[in-house]
Amino acid sequence: MPDLLSRRRALLGPNVSTFYDDPIHVVRGEGVWLWDEEGNKYLDCYNNVPHVGHCNPRVVSAICAQAGVLNTHTRYLHEGILDYVERLTSTFADPLGTAILTCTGSEANDIALRMAEAMTGKRGIVATDATYHGNTTLVSHLSKSNVPEVGFGLGKYLRHVEAPDSYRIADPDGRHFAARVQEAIDDLEASGIGFAALIVCPLFLNEGFPAQAEGWLRPAAEAVRRAGGLLICDEVQSGFGRCGSHFWAHQKQGVVPDVVTLGKPMGNGHPVAGLVTTPEIMARFRSSFRYFNTFGGNPVSCAAAMAVLEELEEKNLQANAARIGKLAAERLTELAGKYEVIGDVRQSGMVFGAEFVLDRDTKEPASAYTDRVVNAMRHRGIILSKLGRHKNMLKIRPPMPFAEEHLHLLIDTLDSVLAEMPARA
């Protein structure tokens, strides 16, 4: 292990992040399980990229079959991309009927922001102050928590608004958030930059997936439209059935975005991503910019992505997300009855967690404690992480085939870790 870490530093450079104080050397994955090089088994409650399970046989065999027949770019005609985009867009409301396929969610968001510029002639982008949308020069500026020191001065086009936080900021119908968005829009317009788009994850997942009633995003969407801007929903984490109640989280939020970006779970780990938009926006973008992506939409990527859609449907995994999420909330609420350190429990289908606080009255975040819980869980064979505005929320976002038995193992283990770890230790 020290050897691997020193090779890593030499070959990949410093400051390359790992998970856990004692990083795991993984060698094998299957379904919701990972194994390390010593044969230890871990329940994967974190990874949303293997959406239909690590090494899902349908996806692996789709990749192998297509890789052995043809893999090339989209300047030739091929039915793979057309069949996939047809099936993908059939899950969206009109007029969201056209797509661009890329390799990463970063690339998709990078295009989405240019679509906003193409449609509005303006460049001002609004995002929350606790989000992440990717790593290109432009897109990296959306992350306030990790402001890059380099980035060609693009920070001037960004305005960050306070992230929703259902535990601390009362906002039952989204009007408080919409007012913050409106202020950012006004500021951009007053500055002469002008307003082009609001980009949000419709579950506000990195922000701590606050509890929100259906339709909560409507007031913000209305503010965006009134100002002539685009609503971009980044469904890289929230999409493909994860929220349980809907296939896309923006549908739960009661809005039809102008652009929806997709990524991580789309090919179950195969590098495929993309965006879905209206014919009007697509035409405007494509007349402003002759976009081509060598690997984007190749037959193997489309085969992997199609297998994910098929697996979700045949295994009824969206319904599973709804059922397991509900049960998770119940079991976490039980734990909240036992442990004062749990200040709040939240879930939205197959993403759920508990927020740790030092004091339920002051709601002071127990961020260091959360870190210790995450590391203790890792040593008990449970992989999860933390997130949110104060990094004091458990990030539990397992592959979609996560079943009842897995949930009980997760919660029972968390129960015993919390029992042994007093919050004020």
Residues 115-154 that bind a copy of itself (CB under 8 A): 115, 117-118, 123, 135-138, 140, 146, 148-154
Nearer to a copy of itself, 249 or 275 (CB): 275
Q: Least separation, in Å, of the C-beta of 290 and a copy of itself?
A: 6
| SS3 label, residue 159 | strand
Q: Least separation, in Å, of the C-beta of 342 and a copy of itself?
A: 26
Distance, CA of 5 to CA of 18 (rounded, Å): 10
Distance, CA of 240 to CA of 127 (rounded, Å): 22
Which of 21, 79, 214, 314 touches a copy of itself (CB under 8 A)? 79
Which of 51, 92, 107, 342 touches a copy of itself (CB under 8 A)? 107
Nearer to a copy of itself, 303 or 345 (CB): 303
Distance, CA of 380 to CA of 402 (rounded, Å): 18
Number of residues located near a copy of itself, criterion CB under 8 A = 105
Maximal C-alpha separation, the chain:
63
Nearer to a copy of itself, 301 or 318 (CB): 301
Contact region with a copy of itself (CB under 8 A), list: 25-33, 226-234, 320-328, 339-347: 25-33
Say if residues 311 and 58 touch (Cβ distance below 8 Å).
yes
Q: Mark 38-57 with x for binding to a copy of itself (rule: CB under 8 A) and - for no binding.
A: ---------x-xx---xx--
CA distances from 315 to 238, 307, 348, 403 (A): 19, 12, 19, 12
Tokens of 225: 């439209």
Q: Least separation, in Å, of the C-beta of 163 and a copy of itself?
A: 19
Distance, CA of 262 to CA of 277 (rounded, Å): 11
**Backbone torsion region of residue 199, taken as left when φ is above 0, otherwise alpha when ψ lies between -120 and 50, otherwise beta:** beta
Distance, CA of 42 to CA of 385 (rounded, Å): 14
Single out the residue of 400, 394, 347, 351 nearest to residue 374, CA to CA. Answer: 394
Q: Is 73 exposed, middle or buried (0-12, 13-18, 19+ CB in 10 A)?
A: middle
User: Phi and psi (nearest 5°) for 245?
Assistant: -75, -25
Distance, CA of 269 to CA of 54 (rounded, Å): 9
Nearer to a copy of itself, 87 or 315 (CB): 87
Contact region with a copy of itself (CB under 8 A), list: 168-176, 261-269, 344-352, 353-361: 261-269
Distance, CA of 268 to CA of 315 (rounded, Å): 15
Nearer to a copy of itself, 103 or 220 (CB): 103
Nearer to a copy of itself, 55 or 256 (CB): 55
Nearer to a copy of itself, 61 or 333 (CB): 61
Which of 25, 226, 338, 408 touches a copy of itself (CB under 8 A)? 25
Nearer to a copy of itself, 292 or 338 (CB): 292
Nearer to a copy of itself, 64 or 368 (CB): 64
Q: Is 51 exposed, middle or buried (0-12, 13-18, 19+ CB in 10 A)?
A: buried
Q: What is the CA radius of gyration of the chain?
A: 21
Distance, CA of 137 to CA of 154 (rounded, Å): 8
* Contacting a copy of itself within 275-304 (CB under 8 A): 279, 282-283, 285-295, 298, 300-301
Distance, CA of 186 to CA of 388 (rounded, Å): 27
Nearer to a copy of itself, 157 or 167 (CB): 157
* Residue 23 near a copy of itself by CB under 8 A: yes
**Backbone torsion region of residue 42, taken as left when φ is above 0, otherwise alpha when ψ lies between -120 and 50, otherwise beta:** beta
Which of 215, 228, 254, 271 touches a copy of itself (CB under 8 A)? 271
Which of 38, 39, 76, 190 touches a copy of itself (CB under 8 A)? 76
Which of 91, 106, 166, 212 touches a copy of itself (CB under 8 A)? 106
* Contacting a copy of itself within 184-243 (CB under 8 A): none
* Contacting a copy of itself within 301-360 (CB under 8 A): 301
Total residue count of the chain as it appears in this document = 425
Which of 39, 68, 192, 337 touches a copy of itself (CB under 8 A)? 68
Contact region with a copy of itself (CB under 8 A), list: 72-80, 207-215, 226-234, 327-335: 72-80
Amino acid in position 150: V
Contact region with a copy of itself (CB under 8 A), list: 97-105, 176-184, 328-336, 355-363: 97-105
